[in-house]
Chains A and B, each alone.
Chain A
Amino acid sequence: MVFKNVRDWLEAPAASVAERGGRLNVLRGAVARVTTPLLPDDYLHLANPLWSARELRGRIVDVRKETADSATLVIKPGWGFDFKFQPGQYIGIGLLVDGRWHWRSYSLTCPPDWNAPEHGGKRLISIAVKAMPEGFLSSHIVGGVKPGTIVRLQAPQGGFVLPYPPPAKVLFLTAGSGITPVMSMLRAMDRRGLVSDVVHLHSARTAEDVMFGDELRALHDRHPSFQSHLHLTGEQGKFALADLDAKFPDWRERDTWACGPAAMLDEIEQHWRAAGLAERLHVERFEIERSAIGEGGTVSFGKSGRSVEVDGATSLLEAGESVGVQMPFGCRMGICQTCVVTLSSGHARDLRNGDERREGDKVQTCISAAAGDCTLDV
């Protein structure tokens, strides 16, 4: 007990760093008594950007082209990264462009605790990014991020995961870059030698657009229990769910993971619900990388669970107050920064100049309005 108290006390200054409870945090906390108000990490990362667990960081060690408009980034995370994530989870990644950090979330494509022999056996992670026509950051990544670049990371998260051990019969339904989280699941199964009866149906426009095509084929060859089906929409049109019965008659017996465009997921959900199988379906909705749309929308307040519909001229602060949410505020005119809150999803717009704010950004609620639906972390 006493020991625990002492340890807690020692760790206290470092309580907020990523690597919680590690032995390193006791040391970090102890040293922080003399580096206060900073952490030792704040000095160390000046020597090596990866030497900080205060904010997770990583270095891009490899950029691999997957298709004409997609690429895999192999990243060596710095201190404090938890490699024991679950296959199917995503991470937040921040890239510096013109002095500003841009944050997006991407699914991890690697299995947990992965080390690639060609990178000297170091523990690494990988994500795959597909350039979206209007996607500023995805185009930037695919178009030319150099190995060596330092990125920021957020811990793996998300509930779209493959349990361990995997269910006996599995169906993966993916389209486009929706294949990325499933890749992590497949690779994890492969690595653990636990490939159960898996059917994977992947839609892409053309054969050239298929990400990880070779790897899927190799997996297919190595594991007789894994069937990979490609559906090329450019030739065959959209995959009709009605064909499931004919193609995979046992689909109802399978635990299903689906990931792809929203319209496809809506359809799948409906289909599964109609079949009374909603419980066995897991879907992952990708954040669609696009510019803010619309004026106003539904503003949700994550912590208090309230929401309200507002127009594009109402500030988020007013929106919150109108439904009784305790919003922090000060000057109410955009100068004091007292009202800053994290935008946990959706888009907002700075009313003073029309600048766009998006998921992960911190917004001044007194001078920002909803640009489409959005959620605030209060």
Chain B
Amino acid sequence: MAITDIQTFSHLTAADIETLGQELDTIRRSVELSRGERDAKYIRRTIAAQRGLEVAGRAVLFGSRNRWAWLAGTALLSVAKIIENMELGHNISHGQWDWMNDPEIHSSTWEWDQTGPSSQWRRAHNYSHHTYTNVLGKDEDLGFGILRMTRDEQWRPIHLVQPLANLLLAATFEWGIALHDWAIEKELTGTPKSELLSAPNREFARKIARQVSKDFLLYPALTGPAWKSTLKANATANLVRNLWAYAVIFCGHFPDGAEKFTIEQLEDETQAEWYLRQMLGSANFKAGPAMAFMSGNLCYQIEHHLFPDLPSNRYPEIAARVRELCDKYDLPYTTGSLGKQYLLAFRTIHKLALPDRFLKRTADDAPETSSERKFAGITLPNTERWADNNWLLTDPETGQRRGLRSALHEAKVVLEEKARHEKEVLREAKRALKEKARQEKELLREAKIALQEKARVEQAALRRKTVREKGFRVRLRRA
């Protein structure tokens, strides 16, 4: 079972979590207070740059029958679509720029260049996913209903095709998102499935019609003789955008260390615990400024989940402060290179395609999902003993606080120790067995020798007897 009790898991007391929450609030407030002209310029420039790139890309594609023009146009369009999706659509819809009071750059009105309608995505994403982050059965982004991303989800034979489903999802990511949000929209608004012309259905159909006809009908048609290559270019740009968005999302949510939670954890969850869940449930990846920009600053997924509505251009500075807090409270800060984070997610996808009996670890203690039970008998001090005083330990030697990060580390050490020990025992048993085998072989050999000896003696006796009898017969004949 995934985490049911974040307090125990995090090795923090309720009071500790409360102060942590206050410190995060302070960060939030200071960013809110310092939002201003500089930030506004950032988003306006991004918008202008994105539109410029898109126009340039579309223009170049008029000559797309030329190989180089095709490449350049496709690249420009791909980049434009990525920025539109990540830094603009995603972040503006989160309300990150609502503070500007600009009716054109506002979460309630922004529409993005993807198949699904923004409004449906906002509900599924901003509400379902961001409120219930990584809570099993509540956050439907956990595997998007297609992939089994935690051992807590029961294995079904369909999961065997997970490696394939994963590829398909990556290539058609915008469609996956669109269908996913559409289903959630209908569920959340209680729209009956039988109602074909329901508002969500109509909105969905209208958006798809516009998106598809734009990229696959109108633009190719506009470029006349170059229609075929333009069509290919548009499809490629969409594919590139899909793959990139998929990679960014998966690196933010599914590398090892991005924890999952159970519904029990939600009961009476305080605001501060909510913060903590966001921190422990997300993962970052390392990126330079350019890659950070292209990912819509979602390489700072942890910060984004803590403050989904603070301007994305401020995430780097927030990240520095969040890391400090992690150090202070001895909490893990999950990050790694893009490649590493993706490989971890990739490994989980493939591992969990298999039924549980092929999996070594459990949902309490696997690299991609763990729970407070993981620590049972390892580092958790007797909770009762520590109940009323602060059981977040301070190392007597270094004065360092010892919390989850140390505990995870220790758990790892203990596990390694255990594994080493088991190996040792195994080796000994093997040696003993070998020795026994050797002894038995020896005995066997001796027995064989004894037997041979016996046989030889008997044979000799027999021969003697025969000789004797022969002599007797000769003597008889002579006689």
Contacts and interface: CB of A to CB of B under 8 A. Distances in A.
Q: Do A and B come from one complex?
A: yes
Nearest to B271: A333
B103 A99 contact: no
B36 interface: yes
Nearest to B51: A43
A355 B98 CA distance: 14
A100 B131 contact: no
Given A55-B103, A99-B40, A338-B126, A33 B95 contact: no
A337 B94 contact: yes
A152 interface: yes
Given A46-B51, A98-B36, A100-B40, A337 B98 contact: yes
Contact of A43 (B55, B95, B126): B55
A99 B210 contact: no
Interface in A322-365: 330-331, 333-338, 340, 352-353, 355, 360-362, 364
Interface stretch (B11-19, B213-221, B345-353): B213-221
B104 interface: yes
A94 interface: yes
Contacts of B52: 46
Contacts of A5: none
A315 to B, nearest CB: 14
Nearest to B210: A36
Given A34-B219, A353-B29, A100 B101 contact: yes
Contacts of A36: 210-211, 214
A99 B37 contact: yes
B126 A335 contact: yes
Nearest to B99: A100
Interface of A: 13, 33-34, 36-38, 42-43, 46, 54-55, 94, 96, 98-103, 152, 330-331, 333-338, 340, 352-353, 355, 360-362, 364
B122 A338 contact: yes
B101 A102 contact: yes
B29 A362 contact: no
B163 interface: no
Contacts of B111: 37-38
Contacts of B39: 99
A330 B108 contact: no
Given A353-B29, A353-B32, A337 B309 contact: yes
Contacts of B48: 46
20 contacts: A33-B214, A34-B222, A37-B211, A46-B48, A98-B37, A99-B36, A99-B40, A100-B99, A101-B100, A101-B102, A331-B126, A331-B131, A334-B309, A337-B98, A337-B309, A338-B122, A338-B127, A353-B32, A360-B101, A361-B101
B106 A362 contact: yes
B38 interface: yes
Nearest to B38: A99
Contact of A37 (B36, B112, B219, B309): B112
Pick from A34, A100, A336 the residue with the most CB of B within 10 Å: A336
Contacts of A54: 104
Contacts of B282: none
The 7 A-B residue pairs whose C-beta atoms are closest, nearest first, are: A99-B40, A330-B127, A37-B111, A336-B126, A337-B95, A331-B131, A101-B101
Interface string B103-123: 110111001110000100011
B186 interface: no
Contacts of B93: 337
Nearest to B110: A37
A3 B51 CA distance: 34
A333 B101 contact: no
Contacts of B98: 337, 340, 362
A352 B35 CA distance: 16
A340 B122 CA distance: 12
B348 to A, nearest CB: 27
Nearest to A99: B40
Contacts of A103: 101
B35 A99 contact: yes
A101 B111 CA distance: 21
B308 interface: yes
Given A33-B213, A36-B211, A362-B106, A337 B37 contact: no
A94 B127 contact: no
Contacts of B219: 34
A34 B131 CA distance: 35
B475 interface: no
A133 to B, nearest CB: 23
A96 B308 CA distance: 24
A42 B271 CA distance: 39
Contact of B131 (A33, A101, A330, A362): A330
Given A33-B214, A333-B271, 12 more contacts: A34-B219, A38-B51, A43-B51, A46-B52, A99-B35, A99-B39, A100-B100, A101-B102, A335-B131, A336-B126, A337-B95, A337-B309
A336 B131 contact: yes
Nearest to A332: B131
A323 B226 CA distance: 60
Contacts of A360: 101
A81 to B, nearest CB: 15
A364 B36 CA distance: 20
Contacts of B99: 100
Contacts of B131: 330-331, 333, 335-336
Contacts of A152: 103
B315 interface: no
B181 to A, nearest CB: 13
B478 interface: no
Contacts of A99: 35-41, 100
A254 B79 CA distance: 67
Pick from A36, A54, A361 the residue with the most CB of B within 10 Å: A36
B274 interface: yes
Nearest to A102: B101
Nearest to A363: B98
Contacts of B38: 99
A99 B38 CA distance: 7
A46 B113 CA distance: 19
B130 interface: yes
A33 B130 contact: no
Contacts of B126: 330-331, 335-338
Contacts of B107: 337, 340
Contacts of B29: 353
Contact of A333 (B104, B123, B274): B274
